[in-house]
């Protein structure tokens, strides 16, 4: 009996367009439909909230506290409790001296690297050649976009939170 080989093609990536050229006070659109809103309030501290438009639930809170450590609260991480950004997203150096920011999940580590084409790209530590998420920078004719591979969609809240933090650091 001959065996059959079944090819399974991966799902296409998901594109999230920003409605403006910035990650603060913006709306993320998927298929031209609002999916997440990012709201930043500046007082003595800066507080950024990411809201899932469908459920109207806050899924991420980033607080920049001035003299106290900055914190992030992600509903799917640490029981939804605040954690220091420096503890959640650690800075490390690779063997080639490249500086990266590392997110440790229950399944694996992911690394944000500065990228010459994409500006920022997120890689699974096990594959530093193919990003699982990356930015398509804005141009005169197209908005800022986050491209997320299907395998990383379960981390979308952490991807959005860490992208906001990294973009603010780079701007």
- CATH 2.40.160 for the 14-170 domain, yes or no: yes
Distance of CA 145 to the CA centre of its chain: 11
pLDDT recorded at residue 5: 67
Question: Does the pLDDT value for residue 88 go beyond 80?
Answer: yes
Tell me what the pLDDT averaged over the chain comes to.
91
pLDDT of residue 34: 98
* Separation in Å, CA 111 to CA 44, 68, 75, 108, 163: 31, 25, 21, 10, 11
> What pLDDT is stored for residue 168 in this prediction?
82
* Confidence grade of residue 120 (pLDDT, cut at 50, 70, 90): very high
pLDDT greater at residue 116 or residue 65: 65
For the chain, the structural domain boundaries read 14-170
DSSP state of 70: P
pLDDT at 4: 64
pLDDT in tens, 46-64: 999 999 999 999 999 999 9
């Amino acid at each position: 009996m001959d065996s059959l080989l079944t090819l399974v093609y991966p799902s296409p990536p998901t594109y999230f367009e920003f409605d403006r050229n910035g990650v603060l006070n913006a709306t993320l659109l998927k298929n031209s439909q609002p999916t997440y809103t990012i709201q930043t309030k500046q007082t003595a501290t800066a507080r950024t909230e990411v809201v899932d438009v469908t459920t109207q639930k806050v899924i991420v809170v980033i607080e920049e506290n001035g003299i106290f450590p900055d914190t992030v609260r992600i509903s799917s991480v640490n029981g939804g409790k605040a954690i220091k950004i420096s503890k959640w997203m650690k800075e490390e150096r690779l063997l080639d001296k490249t500086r990266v920011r590392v997110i440790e999940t229950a399944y694996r580590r992911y690394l944000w690297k500065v990228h010459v084409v994409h500006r920022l790209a997120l890689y699974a530590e096990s594959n530093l050649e193919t990003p699982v998420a990356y930015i398509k920078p804005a141009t005169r004719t197209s908005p800022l976009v986050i491209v997320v591979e299907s395998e990383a969609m379960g981390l979308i809240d952490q991807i959005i939170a860490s992208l906001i933090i990294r973009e603010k650091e780079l701007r």
